[in-house]
Structure 1
């Protein structure tokens, strides 16, 4: 079994698609752990705010199998096959870490978003602060604590999270 961490983003029917992401990822592995959900402004375009979070789980799938399955889930829930980088999303599912895998090719691992975007780093920090990033040597906590604070990253209301979790279980 390999431990995978998936970054999840949605800004279309956010609560519904956050729940769907959890349900779909349950089919790909076991021992799921879910970070808090954060709301943030879109980057690179003007639109409605995103929900972002990370789900970690153990899987028997290979990296290519997992990548293919994530694309299938995105398409199933409304992502266009020719979707551009900076546009609205029902579901955006990105492999952030996959065991000790290091790759410069698609999918890039560890995903460079860990170093660039607090909406990836903070949820990963919430789940695994002491996890050492493969090929880097720093922990998630070290990367998070070195980031500049971002005002646009807001935790989703505790009541909304409780409602979300209640629906999941």
Structure 2
């Protein structure tokens, strides 16, 4: 089984589509580990704020099959393709890492370039997997987050999924939150 980290984001009916994505991922992959949910300003365009989080799954699917499956979840949740790269969207699910794969795998660049470039990816990843190493940089995600210097405002929000609070807005920056969600 491959260990995979996914980035989820939405800025259109955000709660609805993040919940739908979590449900679809849990239905397909079983137990999920999820970061807190963060709200961030749009990056690269003028738009409504996003909800973002990182999800850890395990899968026996190839990178290509996983990518197709994630695109299907996006499409089932109203994702419109063919527009500009930076635009509002109902749901965006990206493969951040797939085990320690590096380079082009089944047409997917791994690890995803934005892992250490965008706060809305790096902070939740550092929260969820602080001691795991970035496959290229060979530094723990917590260290990459501590050294992050870009100015991208980001804050945790209260978020509930399947009767559990997976995110609290009042958490301090240094506090980790047990977000392992077991799905039966």
> Cα distance, 1:149 vs. partner?
6.2
Unaligned runs of 5+ in 1: none
Q: Distance in 2 between matches of 1:133 and 1:164?
A: 28
Query: Comparing both structures, which one devotes a greater share of its residues to helix?
Result: 1
Q: Distance in 2 between matches of 1:28 and 1:65?
A: 13
Q: Distance in 1 between matches of 2:30 and 2:100?
A: 18
Runs of 4+ in 1 over 3 A off after TM superposition: none
Q: Distance in 1 between matches of 2:71 and 2:152?
A: 31
For 2:148, the equivalent position in structure 1 comes to 147
For 2:98, the equivalent position in structure 1 comes to 98
TM-score by length of 1: 0.90
Q: Distance in 1 between matches of 2:55 and 2:123?
A: 12
TM-score by length of 2: 0.83
Q: Distance in 2 between matches of 1:107 and 1:38?
A: 25
**The 10-residue stretch of structure 1 (99-108 or 72-81) with the greater mean CA deviation from structure 2:** 99-108
Q: Distance in 1 between matches of 2:83 and 2:72?
A: 13
Q: Please, what is the CA RMSD of the aligned residues?
A: 1.8
Q: Distance in 2 between matches of 1:38 and 1:90?
A: 16
1:4-153 superposed matches below 5 A: 4-104=4-104, 106-148=107-149, 150=151, 152-153=153-154
> Cα distance, 1:84 vs. partner?
2.2
CA contact (8 A) 1:28 1:59 kept: no
Alpha-carbon displacement from aligned partner over 1:106-126 (angstroms, at most 9, x marks no partner): 311111111110100000011
CA contact (8 A) 2:33 2:56 kept: yes
Q: Distance in 2 between matches of 1:116 and 1:57?
A: 22
